Structure 1
């Protein structure tokens, strides 16, 4: 995943990633998408992921460095 983050952070790739994120957010915000029930296993996996501590320091370097 770290490699993917480094890849999209370059200029054009960052815009493409942001565009895909916006398109996805618009799609899931539509009433017809929101009416579809979520699979319980997917929801449980999402809740487990959100319960874990953030790992941004691993991706971007030490949390104590002034060069981040």
Structure 2
């Protein structure tokens, strides 16, 4: 029972995260939002974060899985 509850919570959290992502994408795709200037420091921080390699030991990753 505990395993099923954990799987349900995980699936629910994933749906919530995906729903929030879709809402954010819809918000920034509006024409009036696309015309707004972006903060240069925020863009630089984002570019720096995306340039870094991914962390090897994330919360759900396993060092022994081929799917990481």
Q: TM-score, normalised by structure 2?
A: 0.72
Alignment of 1:1-68 (within 5 A): 10-55=10-55, 57-59=56-58, 60-62=61-63, 65-66=64-65
Structure 2 gaps, min length 5: 1-8
Q: Secondary structure at the match of 2:57?
A: helix
> Structure 1 residues 67 and 43, CA, compared in 2 at 3 Å: closer, same or farther?
closer
Aligned length: 57
Deviation of residue 66 (structure 1)? 3.5
The 4+ residue runs of structure 1 with deviation greater than 6 A are none
Structure 1 gaps, min length 5: 1-8
Larger radius of gyration: 2
The answer for the alignment partner of 2:3 in structure 1 is none
Q: TM-score, normalised by structure 1?
A: 0.72
Distance 2:11 2:29 in 1: 27
Distance 2:52 2:36 in 1: 27
